[in-house]
C-alpha cells in the first residue's frame, strides 16, 4: 500500500431534532491513514447496508454514541488490504464481513480499520450483497432461534415479520420444522408473505387482530415470541400467548417503551420478558462457533432457503436518498451503499 491513503466517508456532522433533517445533513467527508495501527487490519469496503441500528444511531437513540462528526454504519463487507503489526498474514486478501467498533469510524466509508474480532472471513462465492448483510441479521436470527431450540418448543411468533431478521428466523424454523406466527402492519406485506408460502400471517391493525393472535397462539401452543418493536405491540404479543410464554425483546422500532404487559400474566401465568443483544453473543462466542454459524447461513443462502432481499444499491454520495427509500420501504429489502 502507498501511504498516506486518503478516502471518502459519509459524515454525520450534527444531531438534528428530527431524523429527516439529520439524514439531509449527511455529507461526504475525507479521512487519511498514514499507517495501519498495531493489532488492526485495513478493510477496503465494498458495500454496507442500512439497518435499524444505524437509524437509531443517527437519531442518538442507540446505545452506541460517537463524537460528532461521526461516520455511521455498523456492518458491511470488503477485502483486507493491509495489516498492522501482530496479525497473521493469512488475513491479507480475504473477503470479510465486518462490524464497526463502538468507537472509531463506521462502515459507511471506503476503508475501515478493524480488529480481528470485528471481522469474519466468508465464503468467496457469496455475492457482495449477501456478504454485506451477512453478520447482523442472520447471526441475530440464528442466536435467537437457538433459544427456541433449547426450550424445545414447536412454534415461535414474530412481529415486524417483513424484516430480514424475521426472514432468517423463518428459514431456521422451516429447516427445524417449527411453526411461525407472523405479524405485519401492512396488508400488502401480508400478501407478499402469503404469496411466498408463509403461513399464519396477521395484520396488527385488523379489527380482530388481538383475538385472532390469541386463538392461533393457543392452537399452536406458541410459547416464544420475538419482539422487534417494543411499545404496545410487544406487550400485546405476550398477553395473547399461553402460560409460561417468553417474550424476547430484540428491537425498539416503535420508539416506545414496552407497554401494556399484563402483570397478572407475569405473576400467575409464568410469563417472562427478556432481551437479546447480538453484541453480547458475539463477544462470548468462540471463532469456531461463529464459523459454524457462518457455514449454516451460507448454506441457506446457497440452497435458496432464504430470500435476503436487496431493494436498492446507491453510491456513497446518494446516502440521503438511499436512507429515505429504506425508511419508506423497509419490508422490500435492504438498501446498500456501494463504495
Ligand X SMILES: NC(=O)c1ccc[n+]([C@@H]2O[C@H](COP(=O)([O-])OP(=O)(O)OC[C@H]3O[C@@H](n4cnc5c(N)ncnc54)[C@H](OP(=O)(O)O)[C@@H]3O)[C@@H](O)[C@H]2O)c1
Q: Which residues bind ligand X (CB under 6 A)?
A: 51-53, 136-137, 140, 160, 162-165, 185-186, 189, 228-229, 250-251, 253-254, 276-278, 330-331
10 vs 184, which CB is nearer to ligand X? 184
Kindly list the distances between the CA atom of residue 291 and the CA atoms of 130, 174, 209, 285, in Å, as whole numbers in the listed order: 16, 22, 40, 10
Which residue's CB is nearer to ligand X, number 79 or number 327? 327
For residue 253, give the nearest of 326, 336, 173 by alpha carbon. 326
Q: Shortest distance, CB of residue 127 to ligand X, whole angstroms?
A: 18
Q: Which residue is nearest to ligand X (CB)?
A: 251
Dist CA 2 CA 164 (whole Å): 39
Residue with cell 419482539: 227
- Beta-ladder partners of 336: 49, 313
7 vs 62, which CB is nearer to ligand X? Answer: 62
For residue 54, which of 13, 103, 2, 107 has the smallest C-alpha distance?
107
Q: Minimum Å distance from CB 278 to ligand X?
A: 3
HSE toward the beta carbon, residue 9, CA cutoff 13 A: 22
Q: Nearest approach, Cβ of 147 to ligand X (angstroms)?
A: 12
Contact 141, 178 (CB under 8 A): no
Other CB atoms within 10 A of residue 59 CB:
15
- Which CB, 76 or 162, lies closer to ligand X? 162
In terms of CB distance, is 107 or 331 closer to ligand X?
331
Residue with C-alpha cell 478516502?
Answer: 7
- Rank residues 245 and 254 by Cβ distance to ligand X and give the closer one: 254
Compute the least distance from the CB of residue 131 to ligand X, in Å: 16
Nearest-approach distance from CB 263 to ligand X, in angstroms = 24
Minimum CB–partner distance for residue 27 and ligand X (Å): 24
Radius of gyration of the chain (CA): 21
Name which of 98, 99, 100, 106 is nearest 26 in CA terms. Answer: 106
Amino acid at each position: 500500500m502507498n501511504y498516506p491513503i486518503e478516502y471518502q466517508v459519509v459524515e454525520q456532522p450534527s444531531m438534528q431534532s428530527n431524523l429527516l433533517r439529520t439524514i439531509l445533513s449527511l455529507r461526504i467527508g475525507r479521512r487519511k491513514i498514514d499507517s495501519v495501527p498495531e493489532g488492526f487490519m485495513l478493510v477496503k469496503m465494498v458495500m454496507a447496508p442500512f439497518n435499524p441500528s444505524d437509524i437509531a444511531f443517527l437519531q442518538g437513540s442507540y446505545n452506541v454514541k460517537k463524537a460528532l462528526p461521526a461516520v455511521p454504519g455498523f456492518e458491511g463487507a470488503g477485502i483486507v488490504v493491509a495489516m498492522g503489526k501482530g496479525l497473521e498474514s493469512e488475513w491479507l486478501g480475504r473477503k470479510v464481513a465486518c462490524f464497526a467498533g463502538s468507537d472509531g469510524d463506521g462502515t459507511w466509508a471506503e476503508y475501515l480499520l478493524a480488529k480481528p474480532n470485528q471481522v469474519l472471513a466468508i465464503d468467496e462465492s457469496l455475492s457482495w450483497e449477501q456478504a454485506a448483510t451477512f453478520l447482523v441479521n442472520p447471526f441475530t436470527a440464528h442466536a435467537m432461534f437457538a433459544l427456541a431450540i433449547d426450550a424445545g418448543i414447536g412454534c415461535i411468533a414474530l412481529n415486524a415479520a417483513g424484516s430480514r431478521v424475521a426472514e432468517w428466523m423463518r428459514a431456521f424454523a422451516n429447516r427445524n420444522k417449527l411453526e411461525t406466527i407472523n405479524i405485519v402492519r401492512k396488508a400488502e406485506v401480508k400478501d407478499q408473505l402469503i404469496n411466498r408460502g408463509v403461513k399464519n400471517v396477521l395484520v396488527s391493525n385488523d379489527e380482530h387482530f388481538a383475538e385472532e393472535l390469541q386463538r392461533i397462539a393457543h392452537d399452536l401452543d406458541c410459547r416464544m415470541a420475538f419482539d422487534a418493536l417494543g411499545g404496545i405491540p410487544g406487550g400485546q404479543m405476550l398477553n395473547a400467548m399461553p402460560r409460561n410464554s417468553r417474550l424476547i425483546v430484540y428491537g425498539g422500532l416503535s420508539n416506545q417503551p414496552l407497554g401494556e404487559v399484563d402483570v397478572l400474566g407475569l405473576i400467575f401465568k409464568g410469563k417472562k420478558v427478556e432481551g437479546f443483544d447480538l453484541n453480547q453473543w458475539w463477544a462470548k462466542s468462540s471463532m469456531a462457533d461463529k464459523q459454524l454459524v457462518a457455514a449454516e447461513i451460507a448454506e441457506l443462502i446457497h440452497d435458496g432457503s432464504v430470500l435476503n432481499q436487496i431493494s436498492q444499491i446507491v453510491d456513497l454520495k446518494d446516502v440521503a436518498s438511499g436512507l429515505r427509500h429504506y425508511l419508506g420501504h423497509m419490508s422490500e429489502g435492504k438498501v446498500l451503499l456501494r463504495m
